[in-house]
């Protein structure tokens, strides 16, 4: 399906460089043109599958993988690719002191406490919590990276985390190249020994790449080392090739004897809103394929397949069951959509900050209005909180009961009383402070949009997820009109009995009794 | 013979229900449902039934319909009470009965009355109330406001009240400072900012026997299982186990 390249490639294997001899893939010959079907990078690393791509086939905005022997050279290549109208793809590790740029063919893994990068003939070891990874502009969830055993580095990383000490032994080279690293290994034999037992695994962006390898025409033909990806288990000396390059070299797609055709496809998440129960995304480019909707929930990925889809704009739901039962319980931290297109897979991701707590009981409370109450007159003692002068009065008996239960009541229009506490008589329930302005625990005036729940603002780890001002989503159906957003403003000690599964909604009704509960709702904490 | 006995019982039940309904209608704007709570005094023929729906009489007073039967004589009475939905009733002595019921979803009320004339002897608000198996004692958390007061005032005080004893001045209308507090021995220090700074009941109060009950209390992130036992005339609380509270 692809045509033969229209450019001349002179690629000569100059040398085979010594490397560790534990490699799981050992190419036997130098590349010699276009021979294979579209390949993934790890496959492309095989000598028979390394296929230069014609410059003419590089359309504008083509995603390309830039390569270099040093970080400085890589940055230069990135600039050159951009200047050529291409979209260079690369990996960035951000650490407290600086950022580090690596080619997409670098092998990146994590252990218990460390982030490990094999690139530029070195092994970079970062403290896991002090580093973030981006694939070009997209953040990469650490849980997506291959996991390897590295006890020695884990121990160092742990010490570094606990003490803030990042210097171990003689550090001149490390400090120059990677001041954030807890270790930097430069000897190939050492890297081979360290990585020999690591499983051969690929990084997410290497599994279904949407880029082709690219090298610009050098003004002075430099030596370029193409490093095979996924070389965790130690690379054979024979797996390194040096080329003298004239023209462009690409590694990647191409049919037998045909010209590979780079295919720019893109997925973009245009909106995501749980209150609207909607995820909007846009697909551009040819081809069709399913879309994988993946969320990180409680640090674990959950996913579902939908589609197939071709290019266009779409809106899907976060959940489709009327009772919200298909909304995963737990803390949602990332949304990722992947278009599994016939031309490759592309994805986009967004940060999420909500916690699905479960199907909660939704009761209501209010400020009872005395005129709605019944019963005989009951003697009460009214204290003025300012100065604590007291006077005798009478309230309707049902109002006394309900005001005692609620903590406050509306004696007459806009005149409120509160159970007496300011003057030290709190145990005698027929004493009231008057007049007062009822306020929530968060010192706000309650209204129809506020709710009370157990143990808000608790910094002592008893498990309550709530803070003043949190939004609480109450889901009673898939339609946005059935999703209510309320604000947590008040405390509710009585809400603790169902393991935090209860919420007390304020209502502006002044009814003296019989304030009904609302229907149960899947309750979500939004921040 | 057996058939006649059954027919007689059925007639008695039907007449009771009809009488209760008729009287309730006379008292109420809102007719009670047919379901009732009932209690019987051990070793006697005295029993009472309380309708499960509150009513408001013509004077605007909230109350419950009580059917009291003693020595073969049945009376239907109106019992003034804050209770919206009764949950338990007991006959303590021939002249003293009690009913416990909900006011809203999070609080309860106790009404002690004379079943011979529905005269209220005392009322109190409470939370998590539980009657002992012999119906003579009630354990509960003393009432505190749900909202609009400092968290300090919302700490749980576990109390017990002997319904057969002298209620005295302690149990008057809508008061919460009733009964003998058995746990915690001291209230938490003032200035609480979080629920973990105050005592909170986790679950329900459960009676193990008529002289012993248990509950779980949460405080400062620790859940304590507490057993309260009557020793002589005193109630003694002991923490039997603790664990991290979630």
Q: Tell me the per-residue pLDDT of A259-287, one tens digit each, with 9 for 90 and over.
A: 444 457 899 999 999 999 999 999 998 88
What are the residue ranges of helices labelled H in A316-414?
A: 397-406
Tell me how many residue pairs between chain A and chain B have CB atoms under 8 A apart: 155
Which CATH number fits the domain that encloses residue A295?
2.60.40.730
Residues A395-419: what's their mean pLDDT?
Answer: 91
Query: Same domain, yes or no, for A215 and A246?
Result: yes
- Lowest mean pLDDT segment, chosen from A59-73, A236-250, A278-292, A426-440: A236-250
CA distance B120 to chain A (A): 14
Q: Is the pLDDT of residue B189 over 70?
A: yes
Q: Is A13 helix (H, G, I), strand (E, B) or coil?
A: coil
pLDDT in tens, A426-456: 656 678 889 898 999 888 999 999 999 877 7
- Sheet containing A390-396: order of strands: A390-396, A377-383, A431-436, A415-419, A408-412
- Lowest mean pLDDT segment, chosen from A108-122, A276-290, A414-428, B29-43: B29-43
Tell whether A503 is covered by a domain: yes
- Domain end call among A251, A275, A294: A251
Task: Give yes or no for A379 touching B (CB within 8 A).
Answer: no
CA distance A425 to chain B (A): 11
Q: Is A229 helix (H, G, I), strand (E, B) or coil?
A: coil
Q: Give the span between the Cα atoms of B184 and B207, in whole angstroms.
A: 18
Task: Confirm if A504 and A363 have CB atoms less than 8 A apart.
Answer: yes
- What percent of chain A shows pLDDT beyond 90? 31
Residues A185-214: what's their mean pLDDT?
Answer: 78
* Window 243-302 of A, Cβ < 8 Å to B: none
Query: Same domain, yes or no, for A336 and A381?
Result: no
By Cβ distance, the residue of A375, A406, A513 closest to B146 is A406
Residue A293 contacts by C-beta under 8 Å, 6 or more apart in sequence? A279, A303, A304, A305, A306, A316, A335, A336, A337
Residue B145: both structure tokens together: 């406001």
Residue of B53, B146, B169, B219 for testing the chain A interface, max A β-carbons within 10 Å: B146
List chain B residues with CB under 8 Å of A462: 195-196, 218, 221, 245-246
Residue A317 contacts by C-beta under 8 Å, 6 or more apart in sequence? A277, A278, A279, A478
Residues B55-62: what's their mean pLDDT?
Answer: 80
- Confidence label for B170 from pLDDT (cuts 50, 70 and 90): low
CB atoms within 10 A of CB B154: 22
Terminal Cα-to-Cα distance of chain A (whole angstroms): 51
Query: Same domain, yes or no, for A447 and A401?
Result: no
Query: Same domain, yes or no, for A292 and A154?
Result: no
pLDDT for the residue A429: 65
Tell whether A367 is covered by a domain: no
Q: Give the span between the Cα atoms of B49 and B83, in whole angstroms.
A: 15
Tell whether A72 is covered by a domain: yes
A484 or A209, which is more confident?
A: A484
CA distance B12 to chain A (A): 34
- What percent of chain A shows pLDDT beyond 70? 74
Q: Is the pLDDT of residue A185 over 50?
A: yes
Residue of A361, A397, A405 for testing the chain B interface, max B β-carbons within 10 Å: A405
Residue A497: both structure tokens together: 């009995």
List chain A residues with CB under 8 Å of B201: 496-497
List chain A residues with CB under 8 Å of B173: 378, 397, 400, 430
Query: Same domain, yes or no, for A288 and A415?
Result: no
Residue holding tokens 């604590």? Answer: A388
CA-nearest residue to B153 within chain A is A426
Inter-chain residue contact A430 with B174, CB threshold 8 Å:
yes
pLDDT in tens, A341-394: 878 788 999 999 999 988 999 999 999 999 999 888 888 889 998 889 999 999
Residue A444: both structure tokens together: 């706000």
Residue of B83, B148, B188 for testing the chain A interface, max A β-carbons within 10 Å: B148
Residues A308-320: what's their mean pLDDT?
Answer: 94
- Confidence label for A51 from pLDDT (cuts 50, 70 and 90): very low
CA distance B123 to chain A (A): 10
Task: Give yes or no for A463 touching B (CB within 8 A).
Answer: yes
Task: Give yes or no for A21 touching B (CB within 8 A).
Answer: no
Report which of B31, B29, B49, B28 is spatially closest to residue B39, judged by C-alpha positions: B49
Strands (E), chain B: 36-40, 47-51, 55-56, 62-70, 73-80, 85-93, 96-103, 107-114, 119-131, 137-142, 158-162, 180-183, 200-201, 206-209, 212-219, 222-231, 234-244
Residues A123-147: what's their mean pLDDT?
Answer: 84
Task: Confirm if B85 and B104 have CB atoms less than 8 A apart.
Answer: no
Q: Is the pLDDT of residue A13 over 50?
A: no
A471: exposed, middle or buried (C-beta count within 10 Å: 0-12, 13-18, 19+)?
middle
Q: Is the pLDDT of residue A498 over 50?
A: no
Tell whether A261 is covered by a domain: no
Tell whether A471 is covered by a domain: yes
Tell whether A364 is covered by a domain: no
By Cβ distance, the residue of B56, B125, B220 closest to A405 is B125
Bridge partners for A280 per DSSP = A271, A315
- Confidence label for B29 from pLDDT (cuts 50, 70 and 90): very low
Tell whether A13 is covered by a domain: no
Inter-chain residue contact A462 with B176, CB threshold 8 Å:
no
- Domain end call among A388, A404, A436: A436
Number of domains into which chain A is organized? 4
pLDDT for the residue A356: 93
A451 or A208, which is more confident?
A: A451
Instruction: Give the CA count within 13 Å in the CB-facing half-sphere of A200.
Output: 13
A196 or A277, which is more confident?
A: A277
Q: Give the span between the Cα atoms of A332 and A328, in whole angstroms.
A: 8
Q: Give the span between the Cα atoms of A521 and A323, in whole angstroms.
A: 8
Bridge partners for B89 per DSSP = B99
Query: Same domain, yes or no, for A429 and A469?
Result: no
Q: Is the pLDDT of residue A521 over 60?
A: yes
Residue B205: both structure tokens together: 């109060």
Tell whether A432 is covered by a domain: yes
Task: Confirm if B40 and B47 have CB atoms less than 8 A apart.
Answer: yes
pLDDT for the residue A496: 66
Bridge partners for A345 per DSSP = A340
pLDDT for the residue A189: 83
Inter-chain residue contact A405 with B106, CB threshold 8 Å:
yes
B99: exposed, middle or buried (C-beta count within 10 Å: 0-12, 13-18, 19+)?
buried
List chain A residues with CB under 8 Å of B176: 404, 427, 429
pLDDT for the residue B169: 57
Residue A105 contacts by C-beta under 8 Å, 6 or more apart in sequence? A41, A45, A65, A67, A206, A213, A227, A228, A229
pLDDT for the residue A59: 67
Containing structural domain, residue A398: 376-436
Q: Is the pLDDT of residue B131 over 60?
A: yes
Query: Same domain, yes or no, for A446 and A400?
Result: no
List chain A residues with CB under 8 Å of B122: none
Query: Same domain, yes or no, for A458 and A509?
Result: yes
Q: Is A5 helix (H, G, I), strand (E, B) or coil?
A: coil
> What Rg, from alpha-carbon coordinates, does chain A have?
32
By Cβ distance, the residue of A374, A405, A458 closest to B145 is A405
Query: Same domain, yes or no, for A46 and A189?
Result: yes
pLDDT for the residue A254: 32
Query: Same domain, yes or no, for A521 and A454?
Result: yes
pLDDT for the residue A426: 60
- Confidence label for B173 from pLDDT (cuts 50, 70 and 90): low
Residue A356: both structure tokens together: 């699905």
CA distance A328 to chain B (A): 21
């Amino acid at each position: 399906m692809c045509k033969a390249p229209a450019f001349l490639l002179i690629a000569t294997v100059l040398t085979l460089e010594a490397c560790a001899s534990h490699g799981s893939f050992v190419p036997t010959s130098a590349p010699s043109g276009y021979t294979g079907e579209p390949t993934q990078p790890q496959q492309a690393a095989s000598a028979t599958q390394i296929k230069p791509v014609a410059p003419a086939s590089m359309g504008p905005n083509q995603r390309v993988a830039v390569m270099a022997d040093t970080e400085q050279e890589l940055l230069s290549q990135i600039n050159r690719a951009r200047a050529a109208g291409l979209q260079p793809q690369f990996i960035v590790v951000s650490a407290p002191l600086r950022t580090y740029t690596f080619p997409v063919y670098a092998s990146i893994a994590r252990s218990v406490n460390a982030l490990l990068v094999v690139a530029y003939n070195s092994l970079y070891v970062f403290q896991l919590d002090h580093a973030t990874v981006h694939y070009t502009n997209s953040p990469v969830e650490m849980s997506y990276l291959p996991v390897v055993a590295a006890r020695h580095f884990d121990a160092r990383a742990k010490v570094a985390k606990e003490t803030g000490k990042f210097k171990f032994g003689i550090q001149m080279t490390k400090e120059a190249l990677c001041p954030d690293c807890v270790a930097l290994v430069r000897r190939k034999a050492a890297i081979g020994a360290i990585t020999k037992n690591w499983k051969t695994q690929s990084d997410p962006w290497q599994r279904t790449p949407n880029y082709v390898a690219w090298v610009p025409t050098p003004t002075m033909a430099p030596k370029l080392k193409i490093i095979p990806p996924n070389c965790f288990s130690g690379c054979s000396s024979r797996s390194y090739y040096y080329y003298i390059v004239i023209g462009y070299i690409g590694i990647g797609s191409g049919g037998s004897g045909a010209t590979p055709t780079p295919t720019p496809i893109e997925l973009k998440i245009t909106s995501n809103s749980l209150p609207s129960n909607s995820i909007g995304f846009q697909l551009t480019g040819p081809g069709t394929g399913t879309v994988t909707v993946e969320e990180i929930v409680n640090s674990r990925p959950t996913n579902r397949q939908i589609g197939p889809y071709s290019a266009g704009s779409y809106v899907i739901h976060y959940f489709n069951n009327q009772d919200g039962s298909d909304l995963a319980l737990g803390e949602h931290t990332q949304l990722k959509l992947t278009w599994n297109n016939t031309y490759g897979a592309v994805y986009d991701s967004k940060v999420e900050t909500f916690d699905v707590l479960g199907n909660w009981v939704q009761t209501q409370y209010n400020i009872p209005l005395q005129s709605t109450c019944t019963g005989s007159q009951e003697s009460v003692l009214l204290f003025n909180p300012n100065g604590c002068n007291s006077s005798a009065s009478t309230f309707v008996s049902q109002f006394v009961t309900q005001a005692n239960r609620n903590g406050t009541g509306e004696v007459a229009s806009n005149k409120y009383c509160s159970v007496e506490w300011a003057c030290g008589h709190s145990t005698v329930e027929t004493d009231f402070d008057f007049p007062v302005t009822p306020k929530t625990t968060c010192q706000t005036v309650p209204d129809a949009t506020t709710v009370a729940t157990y143990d808000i603002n608790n910094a002592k780890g008893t498990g309550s997820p709530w803070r003043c001002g949190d939004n609480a989503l109450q889901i009673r159906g898939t339609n946005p009109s059935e999703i209510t957003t309320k604000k947590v403003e008040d405390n509710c000690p009585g809400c603790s009995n169902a393991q935090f599964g209860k919420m007390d909604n304020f209502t502006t009704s002044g009814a003296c009794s019989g304030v009904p509960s609302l229907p149960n709702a899947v309750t979500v904490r939004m921040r | 013979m057996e058939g006649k006995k059954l027919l007689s019982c059925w007639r008695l039940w039907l007449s009771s229900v009809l009488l209760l309904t008729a009287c309730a209608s006379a008292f109420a704007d809102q007719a009670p449902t047919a379901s009732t709570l009932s209690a019987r005094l051990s070793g006697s023929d005295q029993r009472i039934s309380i309708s499960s729906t509150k009513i408001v009489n013509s004077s605007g007073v909230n109350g419950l319909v009580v059917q009291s039967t003693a020595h073969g004589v049945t009376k239907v009475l109106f019992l003034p009470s804050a209770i919206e939905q009764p949950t338990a009733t007991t006959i303590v002595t021939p002249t003293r009965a009690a009913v416990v019921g909900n006011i809203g979803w999070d609080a309860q009320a106790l009404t002690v009355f004379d079943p011979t004339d529905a005269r209220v002897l005392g009322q109190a608000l409470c939370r998590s109330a539980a009657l002992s198996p012999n119906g003579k004692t009630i354990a509960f958390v003393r009432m505190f406001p749900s909202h609009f007061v400092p968290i300090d005032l919302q700490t749980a005080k576990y109390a017990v009240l002997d319904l057969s004893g002298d209620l005295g001045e302690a149990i008057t209308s809508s008061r919460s400072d009733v009964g003998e507090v058995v746990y915690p021995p001291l209230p938490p220090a003032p200035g609480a900012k979080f629920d973990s700074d105050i005592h909170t009941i986790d679950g329900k109060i459960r009676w193990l026997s008529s002289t012993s009950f248990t509950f779980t209390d949460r405080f400062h992130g620790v859940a304590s299982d507490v057993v309260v036992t009557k020793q002589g005339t005193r109630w003694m609380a002991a923490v039997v186990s603790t664990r991290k509270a979630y």
